[in-house]
Structure 1
Amino acid sequence: MDVSIVETSGLGDRSYLISHHGIAVVVDPQRDIDRILALADENEVRITHVLETHLHNDYVTGGLELSRTVGADYAVPAGDDVDYSRRPVADGDVIDAGPIQLQVLHTPGHTHHHVSYVLRDDAGAIHGVFTGGSMLYGTTGRTDLIGPDDTEELSHAQYHSVHKLADLLPADTPIYPTHGFGSFCSATPASGDSSTIKEQFKTNPALTKDEQSFVDELLAGLSAYPAYYAHMGVINSAGPAPVDLTPPAPIDPIELRRRIDAGEWVVDLRTRTAFAAGHLPGTYGFELSGSFVSYFGWLYDWGAPITVIGDSPEQVAEAKRELVRIGVDRLTGAATDDIDTLTNGSQLGSYPVADFARLAEQLGTGSASILDVRQTHEYDKEHIPGATNIPLHELPDRLNDVPAGPVWVHCGSGYRASIATSLLDRAGFDVVLIDDNFAEAGKQRLTAR
């Protein structure tokens, strides 16, 4: 029995291909199904079943298209209301894929109808459990995505679901969650790349705390999540359109300038330092790395056409793949010429890049306006006294709260700050990007708790 992991690090998620004796089952596939198809070909297996643990809130599923492409059965939790034909599964059902057997367990919490799948071979031996957004590594899936009226009920349900898994399964059972690798679907940050039921008894708060303490702590720890989540459930319920990964049309400098002047979303994918050194005024800077797609989806005007500027066609293709995973399909053009060529004779914009040591020097000789774009709970834990805290996702609607410039902008690593500085630069602010790890601020004795 082989379990192959398909990592989607930009969203902090995992999909799985289970294979045995030439047969394969897929759990929670992302929308870009070519990765799964290539893996199945590599393993020389035939996909007979595609399973969803829940209707996803953080990405557009590839399950429907994959099942249609390979002619597989498509299993979705029975309580989820969808507009397409599927196999509804409920607690106690068994997915019979010949040498692969999967027992369905109802594990509500992340959603009302969430299920987990216990993996067995045809002799009945347990080889793992696919827990979706239920039991994660050292945490659980968040419980506030359905709505505020359901959150407390789902938090209690999450506690009981984790106990159900722990009570029913052997201690050495491997756990295969979908979320928890940087995903905003985690209630708190997950820990580790693998785990078992036994290990979760030591690290998972649902198993180390009493029910009310767990619920109280979970509710207190819930922080903001990306705005694009509001669209994912709708798309997944209706049935996503087939994915389109064809390259966007090339855009020349004149058309590029027209789109910028029209106020369209023109997004520069280059590194944050390259953008700071020279960019087309009026563009957005979203470095294509790390959490690009989560923060892009958080700030994006849903449905607006997008033009991208990249270093290469390969970078543009990577960006398109990231964007279609969250249903952003209106990538209407791309420019990959040298940035100086794209100016068409106009002047580039730029702003300084500094670190916390340089900020300490500035504060030592005078004062500085500091903007902290981390989330509120991060700021409350530790911050630079006198800094204004405006979380990145709130910044477009709170420009009037930004202090007078030059504004030194920081976050935890420099990534969110780089997006914020591009937004502020676009709005006409005088900015300095602090491209540094926040731990360095403590080393410079700039912070207070």
Structure 2
Amino acid sequence: MQIEQIYTGCLAQGAYYITSNGEAAIIDPLREIQPYLERLERDQVKLKYIFETHFHADFVSGHVDLSRETSAPIVYGPNATCEFECVSATDGQEFTIGNIKIRALHTPGHTMESTSFLLIDENGKEYAIFSGDTLFIGDVGRPDLAQKAAHMTQEQLAAILYYSLREKVMTLADDVLVYPAHGAGSACGKNMSKETVSTIGNQKATNYALRADMTEAEFVQEVTEGLLPPPAYFGMNVALNKKGYESFENVLHLGMRALSVTEFEAAAEETGALILDTRKNTDFAKGFIPQSINIGIDGDFAPWVGALIADVKQPILIVSEEGQEEETVTRLSRVGFDNLIGHLDGGFDAWTKAEKEIDTVNRISAEEFAKKVKIGESKVIDIRKESEFCTEHVEEAFSKPLATINDWIKDINPKEHFYLHCAGGYRSMIAASILEARGFRNFTEIEGGFNAIGKTNLPKTDFVCQSKVLK
């Protein structure tokens, strides 16, 4: 028996590849399936089952394409209704893969179909649980994502999750391994650990939501407290996972169409496509195609695309570093952005060589900022998360998280200058590009963000340990 966790940092997502005696199972696969097909062939094993822990909201799974290519059935838990052929397992139903078994444990609460899969090894021992979004390392799944579909409140779903954990998960032996669907950085929980594997015993000892003396009321209050609104694209990804989607190969073909400068410009005018520039923020600041939005491929690319573009049907034109076109298309497809017109052949260099109009961002160093800013007089907007802001910030700064820019941008006074920064420059350049695309020019962005500002002698609030802030 072999278990491999295939972790994708950009999505903070874990897929699982399991083999035993010539057969395999894959749990919560990513959209692009070629790596799985190559692995199956290399290991000379047959894919027997594709297990899905629930209808994912934060990414588009590869279950449909993978089943089409391998004929392996897709297995969900109870309450799962698909618009393609799938198995809706009963609670406790077992599936044999080689010399091992996988038992479906219906664990609703995150969503009503949420199901954990318990692996029983060749000796009959309960060995590992693949907990999906029911149990994370240090956290549990948020109970507010399925409210509309389940016609229930988040408090009602949280109460169901309380009993799922205590009756199905916490009753397992302490040495059973815990393999969750997500880790730190995912929007599917509040405060996940950076660790991606644990044990039941460790989680009972350290996870706030698994305290032995915790009442249902306390659990509901703590799990629902401080939940941020889910990204707008979540509902659209759920629909794609339920109904099916365009083949990844077709999406890749569309995104890999190389457009000349003339074709690119014409496509932008004719389709109303969003121009997505995935270069580093340092390069984008020096010059970009007017109206472009910068979300760098080297950061938390896919989650920010989903959070800020929101509509997965939005037509997109890509500007990337040469050689990164396929990676960009792949990451966009993982969160359901399939309406790709193509990419600029030759990248931004081709645009400048054609002597087309370019735009820039007014960016200064942290040292210049420290010299120019007047605390109490100048307006400083900090777009980090509230928890980061509460930890430490420039005195008199305003907290305006990037995730809510579509809400606070309408309150910007176009005649009042302000300084803009995040932690390191990635998020503030996203914000700067959105601001400029909407006609705002009255700001200065700070290179290096608060990481660089912290090294200056500008007055800042007292440092507070972030773990205390999160509590």
Partner residue in 2 for 1:218: 223
Partner residue in 1 for 2:469: none
Q: CA deviation at 1:338?
A: 5.2
Partner residue in 2 for 1:417: 428
Return 5+ residue gaps in structure 1 as ranges.
none
Amino acid at match of 2:76: V
Partner residue in 2 for 1:252: 260
Instruction: Give the direction of change, closer, same or farther, for the CA distance of 1:423–1:16 in structure 2 (3 Å limit).
Output: same
Partner residue in 1 for 2:246: 241
Contact 2:78 2:88 in 1 (8 A): yes
Partner residue in 2 for 1:84: 84
Matched residues in 2 for 1:72 and 1:347: separation?
Answer: 52
Matched residues in 1 for 2:325 and 2:349: separation?
Answer: 18
3-state secondary structure, aligned to 2:239: helix
Partner residue in 1 for 2:468: none
3-state secondary structure, aligned to 1:65: helix
Q: Which moved more, 1:321-330 or 1:181-190?
A: 181-190
Instruction: Give the direction of change, closer, same or farther, for the CA distance of 1:68–1:365 in structure 2 (3 Å limit).
Output: closer
Matched residues in 1 for 2:181 and 2:349: separation?
Answer: 43
Instruction: Give the direction of change, closer, same or farther, for the CA distance of 1:346–1:240 in structure 2 (3 Å limit).
Output: closer
User: Residues 272-313 of structure 1, C-alpha deviation per residue, up to 9 Å, x if partnerless?
Assistant: 01000111112111111221111111222441211111111x
Q: How does 1:10-409 map to 2 (within 5 A)?
A: 10-147=10-147, 149-208=152-211, 210-211=214-215, 212-244=217-249, 245-246=252-253, 247-260=255-268, 263-300=272-309, 301-312=311-322, 314-337=323-346, 339-343=348-352, 344-364=354-374, 367-376=377-386, 378-379=388-389, 382-403=392-413, 404-409=415-420
Amino acid at match of 1:446: K
3-state secondary structure, aligned to 1:221: coil
Matched residues in 2 for 1:365 and 1:104: separation?
Answer: 58
Amino acid at match of 2:50: V
Moved over 6 A (4+): none
What TM-score results when the alignment is normalised by the length of structure 2? 0.88
What TM-score results when the alignment is normalised by the length of structure 1? 0.92
Q: Which moved more, 1:78-87 or 1:367-376?
A: 367-376
Instruction: Give the direction of change, closer, same or farther, for the CA distance of 1:319–1:372 in structure 2 (3 Å limit).
Output: same
3-state secondary structure, aligned to 2:69: helix
Contact 1:118 1:126 in 2 (8 A): yes
Amino acid at match of 1:189: M
Instruction: Give the direction of change, closer, same or farther, for the CA distance of 1:242–1:338 in structure 2 (3 Å limit).
Output: closer
In the alignment of these two chains, the number of paired residues is 448
2:437 equivalent among 420, 426, 439: 426
3-state secondary structure, aligned to 1:69: helix
User: Residues 202-259 of structure 1, C-alpha deviation per residue, up to 9 Å, x if partnerless?
Assistant: 2211112613333212211211321110101111111233212235211122233344
Matched residues in 1 for 2:168 and 2:37: separation?
Answer: 30
Return 5+ residue gaps in structure 2 as ranges.
465-471
Matched residues in 2 for 1:438 and 1:154: separation?
Answer: 38
3-state secondary structure, aligned to 1:168: coil
Q: Kindly, what percent of the aligned residue pairs are identical?
A: 29
Instruction: Give the direction of change, closer, same or farther, for the CA distance of 1:338–1:146 in structure 2 (3 Å limit).
Output: closer
Matched residues in 1 for 2:385 and 2:280: separation?
Answer: 23
Matched residues in 2 for 1:157 and 1:356: separation?
Answer: 49
Q: CA deviation at 1:159?
A: 2.4
Instruction: Give the direction of change, closer, same or farther, for the CA distance of 1:340–1:237 in structure 2 (3 Å limit).
Output: closer
Instruction: Give the direction of change, closer, same or farther, for the CA distance of 1:324–1:127 in structure 2 (3 Å limit).
Output: same
Instruction: Give the direction of change, closer, same or farther, for the CA distance of 1:224–1:410 in structure 2 (3 Å limit).
Output: farther
